[in-house]
Amino acid sequence: MHCECYFKGNGEVRPRHHLGSLGLCRGVTLTELVVTLAIICIIAAIAIPGLGAFSSRKAIINQADQMGAFFHHVRERSIQEGVHWRIVFKPEAGQWSAFGDINGNARYDPGEQRLGPYILEQGIKFGSRARVGPNNTAIPADGTSFVDDRVCFSPMGSCNAGTVYLFSSDRSVALRILPASGTVLVYQYISSWRQLE
């Protein structure tokens, strides 16, 4: 900071506006600047690894939320349209899609409504880091316990039961669909399974 100084009659130099008594007339030295930058770098070095874990957690929870919302959306369409809607997972490609099965043949045909395909976010895959699922059930190698990797919602809103497992670098999630109601329960695994609200 720059400050103007003036001379008093007795040869004493005093700052104008008396800023000197506040320490405001002094500039910042190179040493002070380097020390400040070093402290900022140390704090950043400590914080950045933690941000990676936070980012990983946020990404997989976001993916689980999107997939859960997709299940609800497909179930609602099935009820509103009076048509079986099927969600098809392709774990090896990291994809899933849905279609309204108007003719009931359990496969997508031209003219039927389709949603997707959707792709898992980068760093997330089908599968799990856990050995067993939330209810001590076996986890399939492809990450989906649905028969033929498909969920089928009836016009009544019910569906076949099963679980989709997703994992990232440090955690897993399980989206379990209850058959009678189509309710989606979400669990997270770090060192043990716990249900998320």
Q: Which residues contact 183 (CB under 8 A, 6 or more apart)?
A: 177
140, 133 in Cβ contact below 8 A?
no
Scanning the chain, the segments in alpha helix (DSSP H) are 30-81
Return the bridge partners of 125, or none.
167
Domains, the chain: 61-195 (3.55.40.10)
Instruction: Quote the tokens at residue 21.
Output: 């008594």
pLDDT in tens, the chain (197 residues): 455 555 555 656 555 555 555 555 567 888 888 888 888 878 877 766 655 555 556 889 999 999 999 999 999 999 999 999 999 999 999 999 999 999 999 999 999 999 999 999 999 999 999 999 998 999 999 999 999 999 999 999 999 999 999 999 889 999 999 998 889 999 999 889 999 87
